[in-house]
Amino acid sequence: MNRIATVVVALAASSLLSACVFAPPSSAIPADTSTIAKLSEQAVVTCGAGNVKEVNAKSFTCK
């Protein structure tokens, strides 16, 4: 009985730890070039010239 319980627990743990997470591809969100241009300008104003790390369709990050 103890061996069966151990196998069941091991199978349950491995199945729970191998769960997949689905995220839609980044191309699923249409990127409007005017929005990115506005965010780029705002990023330069906020971060300073040469200090912008990344700009995407939703936000920007500074270095």
29-42, pLDDT tens digit by residue? 556 788 888 889 99
For 1-63, where are the alpha helices, taking DSSP H only?
2-17, 33-47
Q: How far apart are CA 43 and CA 40, in angstroms?
A: 5
Indicate if the pLDDT at residue 6 is higher than 70: yes
Q: What is the mean pLDDT of residues 11-20?
A: 63
What is the distance in angstroms between the CA of the first residue and the CA of the last residue of the chain?
A: 58
Highest mean pLDDT among 13-17, 18-22, 54-58: 54-58
Report the predicted TM-score, pTM, of the whole model to 2 decimal places: 0.49
Considering only residues 46 and 10, tell me which one the structure prediction assigns the higher pLDDT: 46
